[in-house]
Amino acid sequence: MTDSEILIQLPEWSIVNQKLSRQFVFNDFIQAFGFMTQAGIIAEKMNHHPEWSNVYNTVNVELITHSQGCISQLDIELATHMNNIFENSITKE
């Protein structure tokens, strides 16, 4: 799949340094931490773990399939799950 095809499926994401990248901004730390907890459970079930960081209400995520050295379908699936978690956490407020 080309970068353009990936970004059509995931318009909120970008490709930076050959990794799928997105910044999620929440209302507060608790909401950001809750997102990371939910996403972490899914990532563990998928056995596909993000590179991410959190500062207060912001979570920065980078996804790449290291074993393939590129963005794979696993990254697209995890990004889609993260989008859904984010949308559900924002609409609950």
Please list the residues that pair with 24 across neighbouring strands: 59
Q: What is the mean pLDDT of the chain?
A: 94
Among the four given CATH numbers 3.30.1360.20, 3.40.190.10, 3.40.50.300, 3.90.550.10, the one describing domain 3-91: 3.30.1360.20
User: 39 in helix, strand or coil?
Assistant: helix
pLDDT at 87: 93
Domain ranges of the chain: 3-91
pLDDT digits (tens, 9 = 90+) for 62-78: 999 999 989 999 999 99
Please list the residues that pair with 54 across neighbouring strands: 59
The answer to whether the beta carbons of residues 15 and 3 sit under 8 Å apart is yes
The answer to whether the beta carbons of residues 76 and 3 sit under 8 Å apart is no
Q: Chain-centre distance of CA 37, in angstroms?
A: 12
pLDDT digits (tens, 9 = 90+) for 19-52: 999 999 999 999 999 999 999 999 999 999 999 9
User: 13 in helix, strand or coil?
Assistant: coil
